[in-house]
């Protein structure tokens, strides 16, 4: 993953925003970047941090050739977890509404804003339909962590548990198992050719192993 400073992230935001609004230099992109970085840096986050944002942006860069409009996918990556409170169920919807408020003010067209908001809402299920090139790229970039090596995957799972530290162990295991089953039930976790070839097999192996561990822990009680 790219080592990225806040200054680097502001630059990445500015490039995507300026491109999405056809090259217009104004309004100044910086306040919007700062607002989003503040959100991504909130203390309740353990996995959904700026590190996750950078990882998704890097993966969008890798998958950009498959997207219809990579710049809009990049903007969607910035917004997809911009609102994140683990105890709430409407984070994606609130993140999409934030995009719908901020992007027109930042000079983005209504059509492009609607596409970014649609992509953010798609991360509820990660079930991009056939032919949705932008959706496939964003969802694959967001789910690529599932294909991590053993240590990184364990760190990811541990960080998710930390975000839900207010949930009792038995309830967390049941809820996490349901999420894993939902993902494993998808015909394909990844929709881009790159994702299918590079990430699908290790991701399914990781999910299956974690689900088995959760199930064994429950059965042992």
Segment 48-81, tens digit of pLDDT: 999 999 999 999 999 999 999 999 999 999 999 9
Q: What is the pLDDT of residue 4?
A: 79
Is-cis flag, bond preceding 101, omega within 30? no
Please state the pTM of the whole predicted model. Answer: 0.94
Q: What is the pLDDT of residue 2?
A: 57
Report which of 145, 148, 141 is spatially closest to residue 75, judged by C-alpha positions.
Answer: 141
DSSP code string of 151-216: HHHHHHHHHHHHHTTTS-HHHHHHHHHHHHHHHHHSS-S--SHHHHHHTHHHHHHHHHHHHHHHHH
Classify residue 124 by its DSSP letter.
Answer: T
Q: Are 145 and 156 in contact (CB under 8 A)?
A: yes
Calpha distance 18→31 (Å, rounded): 14
pLDDT category, 184, cuts 50, 70, 90? very high
Provide, rounded to the nearest whole percent, the portion of the chain with pLDDT above 90.
Answer: 91
The beta-carbon contacts of 209-218 under 8 Å, at least 24 apart in sequence, are 210/153, 210/157, 210/176, 210/180, 211/177, 211/180, 211/181, 211/184, 214/173, 214/176, 214/177, 214/180, 215/177, 217/173, 218/170, 218/173, 218/174, 218/177
Segment 70-125, tens digit of pLDDT: 999 999 999 999 999 999 989 999 999 999 999 999 999 999 999 999 999 999 98
CB atoms under 10 Å from CB of 211, counted, come to: 18
Calpha distance 38→55 (Å, rounded): 17
Calpha distance 85→174 (Å, rounded): 20
Look at 148 and 221; give whichever has higher pLDDT.
148
């Amino acid at each position: 993953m790219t080592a990225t400073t806040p200054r680097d992230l502001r630059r990445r935001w500015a490039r995507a925003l300026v491109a999405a609004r056809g090259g217009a230099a104004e309004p100044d992109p910086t306040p919007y970047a700062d607002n989003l970085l503040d959100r991504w840096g909130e203390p309740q986050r353990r996995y959904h941090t700026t590190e996750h944002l950078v990882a998704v942006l890097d993966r969008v860069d890798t998958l950009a050739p498959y997207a219809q409009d990579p710049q809009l996918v990049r903007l969607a990556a910035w917004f997809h977890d911009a609102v994140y409170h683990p105890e709430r169920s409407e984070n994606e919807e609130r993140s999409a509404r934030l995009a719908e408020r901020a992007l027109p003010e930042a000079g983005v067209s209504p059509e492009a804003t609607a596409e970014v908001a649609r992509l953010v809402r798609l991360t509820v299920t990660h079930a991009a339909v056939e032919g949705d090139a932008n959706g496939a790229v964003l969802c694959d970039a967001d789910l690529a962590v599932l294909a991590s090596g053993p240590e990184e995957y364990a760190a990811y799972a541990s960080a998710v548990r930390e975000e839900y530290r207010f949930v009792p162990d038995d309830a967390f295991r049941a809820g996490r198992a349901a999420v894993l089953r939902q993902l494993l039930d998808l015909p394909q976790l990844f929709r881009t050719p790159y994702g299918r070839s590079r990430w699908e097999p290790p991701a399914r192996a990781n999910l299956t192993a974690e689900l088995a561990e959760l199930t064994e822990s429950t059965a042992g009680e």
